[in-house]
């Protein structure tokens, strides 16, 4: 028999995260919540709960006065958006872990929260069990942020760790990530950097007050990392990790997702397997560092439960950075230090590098390391070439065009004075 004092949950989906939520909720003693109904799409699949929990009819949850909160945990972002939209319009609070659905429809969902006056919480959508969104909303609400970056995707981090620490092949590491529930149902979302990009879009709203479409952000994944690239990293004592970054440069935000060489001195060097890490840089509090499991059933389920708990005391996001109206915008008008490996039989465009810091050519492989204008890289299309791999240098050196112009002028002055 149910307890009327408990928050009554209607859950969509009972896969990896749904089962994780049920597990952590079952073992939690501090939160008064219970699952009333779970909507699924496959009735024939064997499940660990009694049949009375389940239904194929979404309306049994969305239009049920006996349910207070809708918890959306399905893979399909289009169906998820309709569920969340309907729930908000019907006055029900919503918790979701669907980062693609959020990223694709972020500003509309923000407006829906205002018009319906009910909260939408989504801590589990970014970096697993790390409470980064709430920290950005609450701890850094009056702080002037300079940058947020880190390992946002546990699946690629798991794969790269297996490759570097255990000399496992990419294919084997990916298969293990899927078996362990770390990789998405479509692995391309992880390995091509889309998952990290969706999370970056959400982070941008809470760190700099920007609602951006995923298409505005460049992402480049880990599928082109070759033995040559891995050996180069090992010889230098580096690791390779997929890094999502956003950095304020004047009134613009430099942002994107790229693999990066990580030195032993970096705090990200020891972040291995399915763990995530977020580094926050601000004017007043300087550097803060968050670490936690970024993939897996129970860690993500724990983040979902945290949002459910927050709803019990009427918590909602205030989008404080957005309310500041700083007139910032995401722009590719910045410079970044990159390693670009290519086939010497098919040279890079001669103008791709602003400055070249290091160069190597052999019979089968060549690479260049230097400063690249990001917009030039994006528009060049070289990132689509099968013989090319792009990795951010160990010292990314992200800076604006004005700084580059000043540096160029200093160089010209030095030459003229010789």
Q: Is the dihedral of CA 199, 385, 253, 233 positive or negative?
A: positive
Task: Report CA-CA distances (Å) from 145 to 47, 180, 200, 244, 285.
Answer: 45, 36, 15, 16, 9
Could you tell me if 270 and 297 are in contact, meaning their C-beta atoms sit under 8 angstroms apart?
Answer: no
Backbone angles phi, psi at 266, to 5 degrees: -75, 145
Q: Residue-wise over 339-368: b if at least 16 C-beta within 10 A, else e?
A: bbbbeeeeebeeebbbeeeeeeeeeebbbb
Torsion of CA 133, 29, 66, 14, to 10 degrees: 70
Q: Are 222 and 242 in contact (CB under 8 A)?
A: yes
- Please confirm, yes or no, whether 199 is among the known catalytic residues: yes
Query: Which tokens in the block code for residue 345?
Result: 């039989």
Count CB neighbours of 26 within 10 A.
8
Alpha-carbon distance of 242 to 129, in angstroms, equals 19
The one catalytic residue in 99, 162, 199, 293 is 199
Strands 399-400 and 355-361: unpaired
Grouping H, G, I as helix, E, B as strand and the rest as coil, residue 205 is helix
Q: Which residue reads 């929990």 in tokens?
A: 53
Do the Cβ atoms of 317 and 121 come closer than 8 Å?
yes
Q: Which two tokens stand for residue 21?
A: 């939520």
User: What phi and psi, each to the nearest 5 degrees, are found at residue 184?
Assistant: -70, 165
Cα separation, 43 vs 36, in Å, equals: 17
d(CA 23, CA 16): 11
Pair type for strands 69-72 and 7-12: parallel
User: Which residues are marked as active site?
Assistant: 199
């Amino acid at each position: 028999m149910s307890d009327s004092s408990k928050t009554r949950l209607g859950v969509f989906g009972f896969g990896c995260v749904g089962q994780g939520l049920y597990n952590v909720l079952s073992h939690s003693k501090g939160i008064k919540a219970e699952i009333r109904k779970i909507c699924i799409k496959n009735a024939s699949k064997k499940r660990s709960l009694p049949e009375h929990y389940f239904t194929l009819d979404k309306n049994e949850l969305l239009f049920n006065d006996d349910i207070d909160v809708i918890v959306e945990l399905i893979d399909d972002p289009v169906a998820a958006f309709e569920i969340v939209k309907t729930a908000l319009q019907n006055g029900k609070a919503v918790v979701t872990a669907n980062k693609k659905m959020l990223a694709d429809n972020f500003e509309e969902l923000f407006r829906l929260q205002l018009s319906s006056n009910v909260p939408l919480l989504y801590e589990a959508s970014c970096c697993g069990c790390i409470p980064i969104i709430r920290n950005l909303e609450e701890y850094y609400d009056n702080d002037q942020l300079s940058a947020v970056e880190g390992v946002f995707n546990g699946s690629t981090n798991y794969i790269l760790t297996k490759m570097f620490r255990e000399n496992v092949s990419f294919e084997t590491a990916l298969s293990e990530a899927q078996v362990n529930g770390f990789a998405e149902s479509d692995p391309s979302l992880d390995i091509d950097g889309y998952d990290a990009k969706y999370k970056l879009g959400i982070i941008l709203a809470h760190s700099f007050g920007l609602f951006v479409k995923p298409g505005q952000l460049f992402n480049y994944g880990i599928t082109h990392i070759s033995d040559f690239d891995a050996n180069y990293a090992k010889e230098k004592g580096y690791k390779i990790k997929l890094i999502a970054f956003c950095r304020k440069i004047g009134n613009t935000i430099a942002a994107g997702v790229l693999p990066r060489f990580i030195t032993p001195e970096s705090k990200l060097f020891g972040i291995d397997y399915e763990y995530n890490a977020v580094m926050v840089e601000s004017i007043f509090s300087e550097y803060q560092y968050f670490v936690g499991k970024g993939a897996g059933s129970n860690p993500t389920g724990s983040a979902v439960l945290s949002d459910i708990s927050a709803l019990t005391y009427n918590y909602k996001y205030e989008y404080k950075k957005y309310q500041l109206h700083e007139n910032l915008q995401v722009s590719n008008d910045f410079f970044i230090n990159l390693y670009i490996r290519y086939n010497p039989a098919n040279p890079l465009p001669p103008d791709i590098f602003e400055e070249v810091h290091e160069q190597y050519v052999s019979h089968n492989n060549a690479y260049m390391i230097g400063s690249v204008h990001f917009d030039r890289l994006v528009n060049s299309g070289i990132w689509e070439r099968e013989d090319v791999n792009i990795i951010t240098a160990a010292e990314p050196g992200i800076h604006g065009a004005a700084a580059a112009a000043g540096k160029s002028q200093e160089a010209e002055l030095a030459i003229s004075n010789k």
